[in-house]
Protein backbone atom coordinates (compact mmCIF):
# COMPACT_ATOMS: atom_id res chain seq x y z
CA UNK A 1 0.00 0.00 0.00
CA UNK A 2 1.28 3.46 -0.85
CA UNK A 3 1.27 6.34 1.63
CA UNK A 4 -1.62 8.78 1.16
CA UNK A 5 0.69 11.71 1.96
CA UNK A 6 4.02 11.16 0.20
CA UNK A 7 3.33 8.13 -2.06
CA UNK A 8 6.10 5.91 -0.66
CA UNK A 9 5.48 2.28 0.24
CA UNK A 10 3.77 2.01 3.65
CA UNK A 11 4.43 -1.03 5.85
CA UNK A 12 1.77 -3.04 7.67
CA UNK A 13 2.24 -2.68 11.42
CA UNK A 14 -1.00 -3.60 13.18
CA UNK A 15 -4.67 -4.37 12.93
CA UNK A 16 -7.67 -3.57 15.10
CA UNK A 17 -11.34 -4.40 15.29
CA UNK A 18 -13.56 -1.58 14.10
CA UNK A 19 -17.29 -1.30 14.73
CA UNK A 20 -17.09 -4.64 16.52
CA UNK A 21 -16.91 -6.55 13.26
CA UNK A 22 -14.22 -5.39 10.84
CA UNK A 23 -10.56 -6.34 11.19
CA UNK A 24 -8.86 -3.20 9.86
CA UNK A 25 -5.20 -3.13 8.86
CA UNK A 26 -2.97 -0.18 9.77
CA UNK A 27 0.07 0.92 7.76
CA UNK A 28 3.00 3.19 8.66
CA UNK A 29 5.06 5.14 6.14
CA UNK A 30 8.78 4.97 7.01
CA UNK A 31 9.42 8.02 4.82
CA UNK A 32 7.07 10.62 6.34
CA UNK A 33 5.70 8.83 9.44
CA UNK A 34 2.04 8.93 8.35
CA UNK A 35 -0.24 6.22 9.72
CA UNK A 36 -3.24 5.11 7.69
CA UNK A 37 -5.71 2.28 7.40
CA UNK A 38 -6.41 0.12 4.42
CA UNK A 39 -9.03 1.52 2.04
CA UNK A 40 -11.98 2.39 4.34
CA UNK A 41 -14.68 0.05 3.04
CA UNK A 42 -16.72 0.55 6.26
CA UNK A 43 -17.45 4.29 5.87
CA UNK A 44 -20.94 4.04 4.39
CA UNK A 45 -22.05 1.91 7.31
CA UNK A 46 -20.20 4.01 9.89
CA UNK A 47 -21.88 7.22 8.72
CA UNK A 48 -25.31 5.73 8.01
CA UNK A 49 -26.83 6.97 11.27
CA UNK A 50 -26.55 10.65 12.11
CA UNK A 51 -25.97 12.03 15.57
CA UNK A 52 -29.28 12.95 17.19
CA UNK A 53 -30.10 16.66 17.47
CA UNK A 54 -30.93 16.05 21.12
CA UNK A 55 -27.37 14.93 21.94
CA UNK A 56 -26.41 17.89 24.12
CA UNK A 57 -23.30 16.10 25.44
CA UNK A 58 -21.55 16.01 22.05
CA UNK A 59 -19.47 19.15 22.56
CA UNK A 60 -18.40 18.15 26.07
CA UNK A 61 -17.35 14.65 25.01
CA UNK A 62 -15.40 15.98 22.04
CA UNK A 63 -13.60 18.58 24.14
CA UNK A 64 -12.75 15.95 26.77
CA UNK A 65 -11.41 13.57 24.11
CA UNK A 66 -9.40 16.40 22.53
CA UNK A 67 -7.64 17.09 25.81
CA UNK A 68 -6.78 13.39 26.17
CA UNK A 69 -5.47 13.15 22.59
CA UNK A 70 -3.39 16.28 23.14
CA UNK A 71 -1.82 14.79 26.28
CA UNK A 72 -1.04 11.53 24.49
CA UNK A 73 0.59 13.37 21.58
CA UNK A 74 2.70 15.55 23.87
CA UNK A 75 3.86 12.52 25.86
CA UNK A 76 4.49 10.28 22.86
CA UNK A 77 6.11 12.88 20.61
CA UNK A 78 7.71 15.50 22.90
CA UNK A 79 10.06 16.84 20.23
CA UNK A 80 7.31 17.42 17.65
CA UNK A 81 4.90 20.32 17.68
CA UNK A 82 2.59 19.92 14.65
CA UNK A 83 0.00 17.21 14.09
CA UNK A 84 -2.80 16.77 11.60
CA UNK A 85 -6.17 15.27 12.48
CA UNK A 86 -6.72 13.46 9.20
CA UNK A 87 -10.20 12.04 8.62
CA UNK A 88 -11.71 12.86 12.00
CA UNK A 89 -15.26 11.67 12.57
CA UNK A 90 -16.55 15.19 13.13
CA UNK A 91 -15.04 18.57 12.25
CA UNK A 92 -15.81 19.53 15.81
CA UNK A 93 -13.41 16.91 17.17
CA UNK A 94 -10.56 18.37 15.13
CA UNK A 95 -11.40 21.88 16.27
CA UNK A 96 -11.44 20.83 19.91
CA UNK A 97 -8.08 19.08 19.56
CA UNK A 98 -6.60 22.30 18.16
CA UNK A 99 -8.05 24.38 20.99
CA UNK A 100 -6.94 22.01 23.74
CA UNK A 101 -3.42 21.85 22.39
CA UNK A 102 -3.01 25.53 21.65
CA UNK A 103 -4.06 26.54 25.16
CA UNK A 104 -1.06 24.66 26.60
CA UNK A 105 1.40 26.63 24.47
CA UNK A 106 3.52 23.58 23.69
CA UNK A 107 1.70 21.60 21.02
CA UNK A 108 -0.02 22.98 17.96
CA UNK A 109 -2.42 20.66 16.18
CA UNK A 110 -3.07 21.77 12.61
The whole-number pLDDT of residue 106 equals 45
The whole-number pLDDT of residue 25 equals 94
65 shares a domain with 95 = yes
| pLDDT mean for each 10 residues of the chain (110 residues) | 93 91 93 90 77 66 78 81 62 50 46
d(CA 70, CA 106): 10
Instruction: Answer for the pair 29, 5: CB distance below 8 angstroms, yes or no.
Output: yes
Q: Which domain holds residue 29?
A: 1-49
- Split into its structural domains, the chain has a count of 2
77 shares a domain with 29 = no
66 shares a domain with 98 = yes
CATH code: domain of residue 17: 2.20.25
37 shares a domain with 64 = no
102 shares a domain with 57 = yes
73 shares a domain with 26 = no
The whole-number pLDDT of residue 52 equals 60
Amino acid sequence: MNCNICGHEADFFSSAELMRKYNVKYYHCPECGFVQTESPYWLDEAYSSAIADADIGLLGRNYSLAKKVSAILKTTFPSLSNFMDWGATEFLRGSCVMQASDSSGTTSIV
